[in-house]
Amino acid sequence: MAETYNSFHRRSLQDREGFWREQAALIDWERPFERVLDYDRPPFARWFVGGRTNLCHNAVDRHLQARAAQAALIYISTETGVEHTYTYAELHREVNRCAAMLQALGVGKGDRVLIYMPMVPEAIFAMLATVRLGAIHSVVFGGFAAQSLAARIDDAQPQVIVTADAGMRMGKVIPYRPLLEEALRAATHPPRHMLILDRGLDKSSARVAGRDIDYAELRAAHMNAQVPVVWLESNEPSYILYTSGTTGKPKGVQRDTGGHAVSMVASMKHIYCGEPGETYFATSDIGWVVGHSYIVYAPLLRGMASVVYEGVPIRPDPGVWWKIVQDHKVSVMFSAPTAIRVLKKHDQSYLRRYDLGSLKHLFLAGEPLDEPTARWIADALQRPVIDHYWQTETGWSILAAYPGVEKTPIKFGSPSFPAYGYDVRLLHEGTGEEVADNEKGVVAIVPPLPPGCLTTVWGQDDRFVQTYFTSFPGKQVYSTFDWGIRDAEGYYYILGRTDDVINVAGHRLGTREIEEAVCSHPNIAEVAVVGVADKLKGQVPFAFAVVKDASHLNSDAAHAVLEREVLDVVDKHLGAIGRPAHVFFVNMLPKTRSGKVLRRSIQALAEGRDPGDMTTLDDPAGIEQIRAAIDALNAPR
Ligand code: AMP
């Protein structure tokens, strides 16, 4: 009898070892594991203990026998006009060359390689080459600016940075080099070498002799390289990916090797229904977790072709993604609600123009999927649109439908059910008790976390425990810091964050990070940043800043100049993704008598809602200033 969603999920928790042993057979092991799970030191879970494997072997070498001539990466840049398909044999050659290049620059097992690249195939060669050598990659999103990059350099202390002369967005060249130089100056642990891919986009930046190495030149010296894979014990780290939290300092989410490989390939089978030989298209960027998991690892581990796309969804026209689906017979697609909301502003006919017969499903994640957007895209595609919910920390779905097991009905607005391996509970914020159906609670996971989830915070085991496992009194459970609700049929709904993290176009930003950037302006004494609902991006940051010296702020023009300066410092620290949509200048912030800024009240006012209980307010003038600033913004001009 076919297994149901329910029995599959139950089995994954009641017979954890049997269930994951079965999934582990989806990858190659150089040496079999001795134990499926070691949970002797909660909440640290160690999966497939004693087994030796390698991600690059499983993603590339393993497929050479059956599918050497099959496409592995389909590269399409609508920015530069470059299109190139790499077969598994070609990918294998490029990864070997890149591994030899990294070796020549001193990279060995356990070393970190920081990858700061646009969407180019070389970025993926570098990721796979790094794990081939048993080294650890730390990919930093190309849109992050100097200070963010410097913080990540200092935390990961890479041996090498792999980068490019420039990225390109909407036809505009974005030189990487000036930014990198600034980051290296700010870092206390700059690496010895930078491996630079010259795309011929930025001719202005000079190289530093001895430090800077040209990718093409070094590649030419390693054309016939054959670099053996370095087998790792399953729990040895494969990568670090930084993510924002409530403190100003991003956390390095650390992923293991064996658990990660098994979780990826299993999710491709049970959740996405991607089969070997088919084509997968995730519209993300390798700088984000979706890019790691579903542009690189899961499709390649499963023997699929992965579309690597540099560009935006509406250039040259809003049909560009759907033309790719048609031309490359994409069978599964993964995108974000924001991208669909961008498309929704255009005519549905752009989607109808193409033969989408190959497409089985569209998966969406990263932020709440509103019902009108879900209906619009489902109607345009005439395919199941599946919302699923996860985090950088987990690396794959916490909540999802899994049509590979059972085609359960989809309810718009809900990412369905707990994924196999996850013991999900909704807990009362204060007591930690489980809430009833239709009652709001914090989405929590009873550990051990399943394979593929973060194993710790890079170099900070204490922070891992402290951050994620201490939210509820007397209970060591993982908090997602999201509110959720479950209906009587077991469908979950995500209601937003419980902390000061906001989600802009599917990207997580700590309001604290933006506040620190704004405060680096010499004339800003204090600031509160809140996320405000936005039709297109989900949320956008608004900043309310207290100016040190307001004597010059006596005209609209003076306000505009200071606002520009503040936006510039944010651009410099975090990049444009952290840029507030508005900066308001006030004399004071609303605070409690104990000095806590009332961020939730500020946010409520900015969204036109009731600010709530004001009895703890120290001085009513604080909230009145916020109200006046918002009224002025909304007043007709
Ligand atoms: P990130 O780690 O940057 O991918 O952000 C993870 C956060 O994005 C989660 O904690 C949620 O707040 C939000 N998120 C991700 N997927 C969904 C979804 N399907 N529905 C609602 N929120 C989501």
Nearest CA to ligand 1 atom 15: 366
Backbone angles phi, psi at 181, to 5 degrees: -60, -45
* Interval 91-110 mean pLDDT: 98
Q: Answer whether 400 contacts ligand 1 (Cβ < 6 A).
A: no
Band (pLDDT 50/70/90 cuts) for residue 248 is low
Q: Answer whether 503 contacts ligand 1 (Cβ < 6 A).
A: yes
Percent of the chain clearing pLDDT 90 (strictly above): 81
Nearest CA to ligand 1 atom 9: 391
Query: Residues 592-599: contacts with CB within 8 Å, 24+ apart?
Result: 592/616, 592/617, 592/618, 593/617, 593/618, 597/528, 598/622, 598/623, 599/500, 599/511, 599/528, 599/530
Nearest CA to ligand 1 atom 23: 367
For residue 250, what are the contacts with CB-CB under 8 A and spacing of at least 6? 148, 151, 152, 155, 242, 243, 244, 510, 513
Band (pLDDT 50/70/90 cuts) for residue 226 is very high
For residue 304, what are the contacts with CB-CB under 8 A and spacing of at least 6? 268, 274, 275, 276, 277, 278, 279, 280
Q: What pLDDT does residue 637 have?
A: 61
164-205 pLDDT per residue, tens: 999 999 999 999 999 999 999 999 999 999 999 999 999 887
Q: 3-34 b/e with 16+ CB inside 10 Å = b?
A: eebeebbeebeeebeebbeebbebbebeeebe
For residue 221, what are the contacts with CB-CB under 8 A and spacing of at least 6? 104
Q: How far is the CA of 63 from the centre of ligand 1 (A)?
A: 33
Q: Name which of 106-120, 243-257, 574-588 the model is least confident about.
A: 243-257
* Interval 432-440 mean pLDDT: 96
Angle made by CA atoms 162, 133, 49, in degrees to the nearest 5: 125
What three-state secondary structure class fits 253?
Answer: strand
Q: How far is the CA of 479 from the centre of ligand 1 (A)?
A: 13
Q: Answer whether 387 contacts ligand 1 (Cβ < 6 A).
A: yes
48-81 pLDDT per residue, tens: 999 999 999 999 999 999 999 999 999 999 999 9
pTM value?
0.91
DSSP 460-506: -HHHHHHHHS-SBTTB--EEEEEEEEE-TTS-EEEEEESSSEEEETT
Q: What pLDDT does residue 145 have?
A: 86
Q: How far is the CA of 393 from the centre of ligand 1 (A)?
A: 10
What span, in angstroms and rounded, lies between the C-alpha atoms of 535 and 208?
45
521-564 pLDDT per residue, tens: 999 988 999 999 999 999 999 999 999 888 888 888 998 999 99
Percent of the chain clearing pLDDT 70 (strictly above): 99
Which DSSP letter does residue 208 get?
P
378-402 pLDDT per residue, tens: 999 999 999 999 999 999 999 999 9
Q: Answer whether 370 contacts ligand 1 (Cβ < 6 A).
A: no
* Interval 305-330 mean pLDDT: 97
Q: How far is the CA of 334 from the centre of ligand 1 (A)?
A: 14
What span, in angstroms and rounded, lies between the C-alpha atoms of 236 and 164?
29
Q: Is residue 358 scored above 80 in pLDDT? A: yes
Q: What pLDDT does residue 60 have?
A: 98
What's the mean pLDDT when you consider all of the chain? 94
Q: What pLDDT does residue 417 have?
A: 98
Which ligand 1 atom is nearest residue 393's CA?
2
Band (pLDDT 50/70/90 cuts) for residue 1 is low
* Interval 358-369 mean pLDDT: 94
294, 302, 282, 297: which is closest to 362 by C-alpha? 282
Question: Among 494, 502, 511, 577, which is best to mutate for testing ligand 1, by the most ligand atoms less than 8 A from CB?
Answer: 494
What span, in angstroms and rounded, lies between the C-alpha atoms of 432 and 472?
5
Q: How far is the CA of 500 from the centre of ligand 1 (A)?
A: 14
Q: What pLDDT does residue 635 have?
A: 82
Nearest CA to ligand 1 atom 10: 391
Q: Please report, for residues 3, 58, 92, 128, the alpha-carbon distance to residue 137 in angstroms, rounded to integers and kept in the order given.
A: 38, 17, 18, 9
Q: What pLDDT does residue 550 have?
A: 85
Q: Which residue has the higher pLDDT, 416 or 591?
A: 416
